Structure 1
Amino acid sequence: MNTPKSRILIADPDPDVSETLQLYFSANGHETQTVPQANDIIKTARQWQPNAILVSTELTDKNPYQICRELLEDTLTAHIPIIMLLHLDERYVRLEALETGVDDIVTKPIDIEELRLRVEAAIRLSTLRMQV
């Protein structure tokens, strides 16, 4: 099920990954915006108000887990679902991401269709929570 005109913020330092995700989500009816650095995520999220944020653990200019905590503590962004893109499929990495409070995790290499379905599910749940 497609969630039309949902906004997805993609934060990944790899331009190939960002472009692939941007093209795929756009082709599936979503608006997308990319940021290559962690320092741009909060500012962009506050201004653009996406319906979901994808955050790569490969961001190096700031700790991606800290960025997620800041997004979850900010009243302007706390309602936005966050999905972390993990570069390692190690238990400690998955646990650290989940302990941060993110809504979901996906391990690279990314199954793009699975990611889309997870993003759309997170957006649906977020929309339902906001209606209650």
Structure 2
Amino acid sequence: MAERILVADDDPVLRALITAVLEGQGYEVNAVPSGDTLIRAAHDSLPDLLLIDVLMPVMDGMEVIRQLRNDTRTSHLPMLLITAQATPQQAVMGFESGADDYITKPFDNDLLVARVRANLRRAARLPVSSPLTGLPGNLLVEEEVTYRLRNNRAFGLLWVDIYNFKPFNDAYGFGGGDKVIRL
């Protein structure tokens, strides 16, 4: 199955170009004209990677990333900003908003594809969720807590530990333990 990429850019010509380049590499692309539309589309059908223009009407790309990073359904996804503003300050602001990468316009098509591939590879190596529960796994939780502490962001955390569960697993096996956890 092709990896799904969600693109948001208010420029229809650039949306068409990015779509053509990425579809030519075998990716499934959904291109939308605004940040708020991208957020809805990401919730409707979870993509594997997001390419987001910085300057868009209604909601800019940095705000889009902030909102997606604050949602456990999308917080783990690779998010790349695309912008014509190539100043170091803009790049810093983009990374601080939660972007994984930063691509400046005009961009070389091969470089765009290489950055998409690199970010997808990196994301594939990260364990995102527990295969048993579907909830965020230890590394994702640790990464999120570290990010929020480092950026002085408020958060709540609830840790549930089933006391003395090892004897249950010893008696009934891991399959039995997994059934209990799923309940």
Residue aligned with 2:55, SS:
coil
Question: Taking CA–CA contacts closer than 8 Å with sequence separation of 6 or more, which of the two structures ends up with the larger relative contact order?
Answer: 1
**C-alpha separation in 2, matches of 1:79 and 1:94:** 20
Residue aligned with 1:130, SS:
coil
Query: Gaps (5+ residues) in structure 1?
Result: none
Structure 1 partner of 2:91 = 94
Residue aligned with 2:107, SS:
coil
Structure 2 partner of 1:64 = 61
Q: 1:72-97 CA distances to partner (integer Å, 9 max, x unpaired)? A: 11111111100000111111111100
Structure 2 partner of 1:33 = 30
Q: CA deviation at 1:63?
A: 2.6
Q: CA deviation at 1:26?
A: 0.6
Give aligned-pair identity as a percent. 27
TM-score, normalisation: structure 1: 0.92
Structure 1 partner of 2:40 = 43
Q: CA deviation at 1:47?
A: 1.4
Whether contact under 8 Å (2:53, 2:60) holds in the other structure is no
**One-letter amino acid matched to 1:5:** A
Whether contact under 8 Å (1:9, 1:50) holds in the other structure is yes
- From 73, 76, 79, the counterpart of 1:76: 73
1:54 equivalent to 2:51? Answer yes
Residue aligned with 2:75, SS:
coil
CA root-mean-square deviation: 1.3
Q: Which has the higher strand share?
A: 1
Residue aligned with 2:127, SS:
helix
List 4+ stretches of structure 1 deviating above 3 A.
Answer: none
Which of the two has higher C-alpha Rg?
2
TM-score, normalisation: structure 2: 0.67
1:128 equivalent to 2:125? Answer yes
**One-letter amino acid matched to 2:24:** A
Whether contact under 8 Å (1:86, 1:94) holds in the other structure is no
**C-alpha separation in 1, matches of 2:67 and 2:45:** 16
**C-alpha separation in 1, matches of 2:10 and 2:17:** 13
